[in-house]
Amino acid sequence: MSTPASLSPPIPAPTPLTAFFWESLTNRQLSILRCQNCGNYVHYPRPICNVCLSEDLAPEVVSGKGTLYAHTWATQAFHPYYVDKLPYCLAVVELPEQPGLRITSNIIDTPREQVHGGMALEVVFHEISPGLTLPLFVAEGFAPVTA
């Protein structure tokens, strides 16, 4: 069924507003825009702070910790790349840097019966295609040790 092209994951198209995010991941760091006027984190990236309306936003590296806010198990692939990855866990992860600061990701390498709301998570970085690294999450304490 799959052709080489169909085995490529969907590739994001960075914009001037989002390029920092993808570049940070390439360096194995999770960065979130932060308002330099009031300190509010802004994610997904937007040009204006939703608290004070400042346009003075800059990326800051965050801890990579998180808690599971919501999740579901995908059992049907929306793209051919994901066919052999089913079922996989779609997750909304709340970052500890700010209440309500959430990122959409996947939970990997965690048995399904261990995935539950509020569980402690930590980010891992997976280069799924040349030049494309994604921030995925595992149960805290289970991130592989990298040299």
* Sites of contact with Zn ion (CB under 5 A): 35, 37-38, 40, 49, 51-52, 54
- Integer Cα distance of 67 and 100 in angstroms: 11
- Integer Cα distance of 75 and 66 in angstroms: 24
Query: Could you tell me the two tokens for 36?
Result: 């330099």
Q: Minimum CB separation from Zn ion for residue 21, in Å?
A: 19
Residue type for 12, please? P
The closest of 123, 142, 108, 146 to 67, measured between CA atoms, is: 123
Q: Minimum CB separation from Zn ion for residue 20, in Å?
A: 17
Is the peptide bond between 82 and the residue preceding it cis, with omega within 30 degrees of 0?
Answer: no
Task: Please say which residue, 3 or 50, places its beta carbon nearer to Zn ion.
Answer: 50
Task: Please say which residue, 98 or 129, places its beta carbon nearer to Zn ion.
Answer: 98
Task: Please say which residue, 23 or 97, places its beta carbon nearer to Zn ion.
Answer: 97
Q: Minimum CB separation from Zn ion for residue 39, in Å?
A: 7
Q: Please give the backbone phi and psi of residue 111, each rounded to the nearest 5 degrees, phi first.
A: -55, 140
Q: Please give the backbone phi and psi of residue 6, each rounded to the nearest 5 degrees, phi first.
A: -75, -15
Q: Minimum CB separation from Zn ion for residue 40, in Å?
A: 4
Task: Please say which residue, 49 or 107, places its beta carbon nearer to Zn ion.
Answer: 49
Task: Please say which residue, 54 or 110, places its beta carbon nearer to Zn ion.
Answer: 54
User: For strand 88-94 and strand 102-107, is the pairing parallel, antiparallel, or unpaired?
Assistant: antiparallel
Q: Minimum CB separation from Zn ion for residue 49, in Å?
A: 3
